[in-house]
Amino acid sequence: MINVDELRRMSPQQRAELSRALAALEDPVPPGAAGLPAGPVRRAIALVLIIGGCLGLAAWIGVLAVTLPRYYHTGGWRGAWVGFDIVELVAFAVTAWAAWKHRQLVIGCLIVLATLLCCDAWFDVTLDLRTNGFWVSLLLALCVELPLAVLALLIARRLLRLNIRAVRRLRGLPGPVPPLWKLPLIGMGSRGIRTVIPEPCVPVEPGELVPAGGPGQDRPAGTRREESPAR
């Protein structure tokens, strides 16, 4: 049984190796998971759809900018705005519930809530342009809706970074979390699963741990490295 004093006497690298070994024991890689294909076909299809969507949307924006009338009288005005506010209320309620219950769902809820608040501010300001309610809409957008949206995004970013830091500590990687735009997606790519669940470590010598089946070592997990015969 390792006590706290023994852990303190270990070097940071030894503690990192021990952390990776414990993480692998608690949540091992499923059989065959480490060799899962990267899914290049699925990624290529997704990228083609995204690029096609961008090109199509850009063309559609041009069509709307040329063909739409400057002013337009529409029906269903009350239903559109009441319905939108109901959706916004549901987003607030689900976000509050997820935060109260400490659920991971709160990160997605915060992003959805920020998006709805930005949409609300945009349509309030643009649709009230050249009307008596323009300044009220602008004040609400600048003082209420947009600040709440920014706050929701900052909280979501902080929670996401806390989760990533916990995963990095399980992998024995202390220190600050890199910017999100530099971090690869977890579960994507040929090494996606190993970014969360490292290869199990096996004892070689007292106080030393090495990954099973690491680079240049073709052996199953749980085996000891054989010493080279004396020359």
pLDDT digits (tens, 9 = 90+) for 175-212: 788 888 887 776 554 444 344 444 444 444 444 444 44
* Amino acid identity at 159: L
pLDDT confidence tier of residue 222, bands split at 50, 70 and 90: very low
Convert 99-128 to b/e letters by CB count within 10 Å (16 or more is b): eeeeeeebbebbbbbbebbbebbeebbeeb
pLDDT at 187: 58
pLDDT at 141: 94
This prediction has a pTM of 0.66
Listed by start position, the domains of the chain span: 78-198
| DSSP string over 47-115 | HHHHHHHHHHHHHHHHHHHHHS-SS---S-HHHHHHHHHHHHHHHHHHHHHHHHTT-THHHHHHHHHHH
Backbone torsions φ then ψ of 208, nearest 5 degrees: -125, 135
DSSP state of 205: E
Tell how far CA 142 is from the center of its chain. Answer: 28
Q: 17 exposed, middle or buried (CB, 10 Å; 0-12, 13-18, 19+)?
A: buried
